[in-house]
Amino acid sequence: MERWPWPSGGAWLLVAARALLQLLRSDLRLGRPLLAALALLAALDWLCQRLLPPPAALVVLAAAGWIALSRLARPPRLPVATRAVLITGCDTGFGKETAKKLDAMGFMVLATVLDLNSPGAQELRACCSPRLKLLEMDLTKPEDIKRVLEFTKAHTTGTGLWGLVNNAGLNSVVADVELSPVATFRNCMEVNFFGALELTKGLLPLLRHSRGRIVTVGSPAGDMPYPCLAAYGTSKAAVALLMDTFGCELIPWGIKVSVIQPGCFKTESVTNVNLWEKRKQLLLANLPGELLQAYGEDYIEHLHGQFLHSLRMAVPDLSPVVDAIIDALLAAQPRRRYYPGRGLVLMYFIHYYLPEGLRRRFLQNFFISHCLPRALRSGQPGPAPAQDTPQDPNPSLVAAR
C-alpha cells in the first residue's frame, strides 16, 4: 500500500506547539528527559508509518506526544504564602539544605537539631532569616518530642502547620544480621520509626486543620535487602509502610503523604570516615568470642572497607532530594513516592523483575561484596571471595542518612 512520505507532520506540529507553550510558561525544562521523549516519539513515528494507515498513525503519534508532554510538565505548584513547615534532622545533610531552601522561598521553618550549638545549627542561624526557628529534639526522648509539639502548636496559630518533613534518621552499624547487636535494631527503630510515628501523630490535629502534607525520607534499603544494612533497612521499611497507611487513612482529611527514597548522596553523616571507624571498633570490641572466631576479624574489616569504598561514589549535589521534598510539599498532586538519585530506576527494575539470584548478586556487586567467613575457608589464612559473589564492586547507592 502506498504511504504518504510524512503522514504525521500534523502530529509533530501539535507536539511542537505544545512543547513551545510549556517552555514559555516554564512548565517544561530542556534536558535529557525531553530529548529522550522526542527520540521515542521519532521511533514510534517510524513504526506507525510502516504498520498503520496514515490517519491512524497521525492519531497515535499525536496522542503519544500529548501524553509524553503531560508527564514531563511540572505539576502546578501551590503558593508559599505564609506556610509553616517542621523539618527534623537539620544538623546536616538533607534536613539542613531543605531548611535553607524553604526559608529562602518564604516558608516559616521550624528546624529541629540534636544540638543547638552544632555546626549545622550555627550555619542555619547565620544564613537564614529570622523566620526560621531552631528547636532541639532527640526523637528517642518523649519529653523532647512533647516540647516540640507544644512549641509548634503555640507558634503556628496564625499560619497553621502546612507540612511535616520526617528527615531525621539513624544507622549505627554496617554488618551481617548475626553480627549486629539487637540493640542497634532497637536504636534504628526508635529514631526511624517510633520517633517519626510519635511526632506525626502529635502533629496530625494541626495537619488535618490545614489539609497539609507529610513528607518522609526513606531509603531503597527499606525496599531491597542491601547487604549489611538490615537494622537500618528494616526500620526504613517499617516507616514507609506506616506512611502508606497514613496516606490511605488521611485521604478524607485532605492530607497528602509522600515518601522520598534517595540514592547515595554525600551528606556529612554518611561520609564521616572517622565515625564509621569508631563504630567498627565498637562492634569488634563487643562481639562474642564465638562469633568473632567463626567470622574472623578480617571478615569484618573486609565489609568495612567495601562500605567505605561505596561511600566514594556518593553524589555531592543534594539538590535532587531537596527538590523532591519541595515538590511533595507544594505540588497540587504530589507523588506517593519520589526516587531522586543515580541508578535507582535500574536498581528497582532488577529488584522487581529479575530472578532472585541475579538480584542478590547485583546488590552485592554494587554495594558490598562478601567474602567467606573464617570458619568456611578450608584453612585459608585470609578472606576468600564467595564463589557466587562478584568482586571489585562499583557501588552507587544507599548508606545511612
Q: Active-site residue numbers?
A: 232
Q: How far is CA 113 from CA 70, 197, 207, 301, in A?
A: 39, 18, 21, 32
| Angstrom distance (rounded) from CA 40 to CA 381 | 55
Lateral strand order in the sheet of 133-136 = 133-136, 108-113, 84-87, 161-166, 213-217, 256-260, 337-338
**Taking every pair of C-alpha atoms in the chain, what is the biggest distance, in angstroms?**
81
Q: Return all residues near 256 (Cβ < 8 A) that are at least 6 apart.
A: 213, 214, 247, 328, 334
Question: For residue 363, what is its C-alpha cell?
Answer: 546488590
SS3 call for 153 = helix
Q: Are 398 and 260 in contact (CB under 8 A)?
A: no
| Angstrom distance (rounded) from CA 17 to CA 15 | 6
CB atoms within 10 A of CB 59: 15
Question: Which one-letter DSSP state was computed for residue 82?
Answer: T
